[in-house]
Amino acid sequence: MSNKDIVILGVFVADTAYRASRQPKIGETIIGNEFSLGPGGKGSNQAVAAALAGGNVHFISRLGKDDFANMAISLWEKSGITPHVTQYSNSYTGAAYIFIEDKTGNNAIIVSPGAAANINDDDITANKELIHGSRVFMTQLEQSLDAAGTALSFAKDGGAITILNPAPAQPLGENILKLCDFVTPNEIEAEQITGTPVKSINDAEIAAGKLLEKGASAAVITLGEQGALFKDNNQIIHQPSYEVGPVVETTGAGDAFNGGLAVALAEEMPIDRALRFACATASISVTRRGTAPSMPDRNEIDALIK
């Protein structure tokens, strides 16, 4: 491993995406306008984003032995990601239902992680040296909080920069947050974790402060079209998003941001430039459909933040 390596623990799922004017009510059937099948899962999306943005990326996960697993393996090979993955014939590769609203491009998601739901400390211990030797380690909460905590602890002990993207949100105690150099919720996740509704940049500052009080070294709250708000014990930075083109789909924007942030930190960019790099990555992604397929390459990001 080089001292620039990014190690990501997370989940791959196959995204089944449905576009319609609205979601159906319980017991109701409506006609959709479009369907697509493609690669997804927060961890895998972030790995793709980081690899295309120039990172040397390793990805830890579990898969079934099925067509969706073949999709994952092909994606990682194409993207230049090194997988550290075990496969299980007695389970299945995860899948996600994604509803996308035609008018706004906003989304609602249900994730069923499959084999990856059983990621545990055995998976983490098997990759202890990999995690321990990383420059940046990142995880989310689509696998268990216990596994995430063990991996963050190994990374912290090795001197890595640690990032926790707390999605889906759940209560987080000091024992987890004190392992996080960066915690990166969106507005909804920040509210669910801190109890502070995030409707404005000022609200984001308050929520970020609560995350610091709970133990995180720094908080970055992603704010959709308003960009992102960074806070640590020394400074507050609001980084606006970039105007790239019409918003087509917001699915995967947070993953793009986190992947871009991981690369920027691995390259030791100062935090203001790291935020620009991450916001540029996300801003480009929302002009395209899909999650992993929407991630921009390094040349596109550099051209935007030049």
Cα distance between the two ends of the chain: 30
Name, in order, each residue with C-beta under 8 angstroms of 286's C-beta and a sequence gap of 6 or more.
Answer: 105, 244, 247, 248, 249, 250, 253, 294
pLDDT over 90, % of the chain:
86
134 lies in which domain range? Answer: 6-10+41-64+74-83+117-305
Domain count, the chain: 1
Give the pLDDT confidence score for residue 306 in this predicted structure.
82
Question: Edge-to-edge strand order for the sheet containing 82-88?
Answer: 82-88, 57-64, 6-9, 136-139, 161-164, 182-183, 218-222, 228-232, 236-239
Rg (alpha carbons) of the chain, rounded to whole number: 18
46 within domain boundaries: yes
Distance from CA of residue 54 to its chain's centroid? 16
231 within domain boundaries: yes
Give the pLDDT confidence score for residue 233 in this predicted structure.
96
- Asked whether the beta carbons of 295 and 252 are under 8 A apart, the reply is yes
Give the pLDDT confidence score for residue 177 in this predicted structure.
96
221 within domain boundaries: yes
Residue 91: other Cβ atoms inside 10 A: 18
Alpha helices for 127-227 (secondary structure H): 128-132, 145-157, 174-177, 187-194, 201-213
Is the pLDDT assigned to residue 1 strictly greater than 70? Answer: no
Query: Which helix (H) or strand (E) covers residue 228, if one does?
Result: strand 228-232
Average pLDDT over residues 187-215: 96
Chain segment 95-137, per-residue pLDDT in tens: 989 899 988 888 888 889 899 999 999 999 999 999 999 999 9
Q: CA-to-CA distance for 175 and 132, rounded, in angstroms?
A: 19
Chain segment 220-241, per-residue pLDDT in tens: 999 999 999 999 999 999 999 9
Average pLDDT over residues 60-83: 97
Give the pLDDT confidence score for residue 3 in this predicted structure.
56
Give the pLDDT confidence score for residue 300 in this predicted structure.
96
Average pLDDT over residues 178-190: 97
Chain segment 31-69, per-residue pLDDT in tens: 999 999 999 999 999 999 999 999 999 999 999 999 999
Average pLDDT over residues 275-297: 93
Is the pLDDT assigned to residue 4 strictly greater than 80? Answer: no
Told to judge if 255 belongs to the known catalytic residues of this protein, a careful annotator would answer: yes
pLDDT band at residue 299 under the 50/70/90 scheme: very high
Q: CA-to-CA distance for 236 and 222, rounded, in angstroms?
A: 14
192 within domain boundaries: yes
50 within domain boundaries: yes
284 within domain boundaries: yes
Give the pLDDT confidence score for residue 249 in this predicted structure.
84
Q: Give the domain CATH number at 185.
A: 3.40.1190.20
238 within domain boundaries: yes
255, 272, 297, 302: the active-site residue: 255
* Mean pLDDT computed over every residue of the chain: 94
Give the pLDDT confidence score for residue 106 in this predicted structure.
85
298 within domain boundaries: yes
Closest CA to 34 of 133, 101, 84, 130: 101
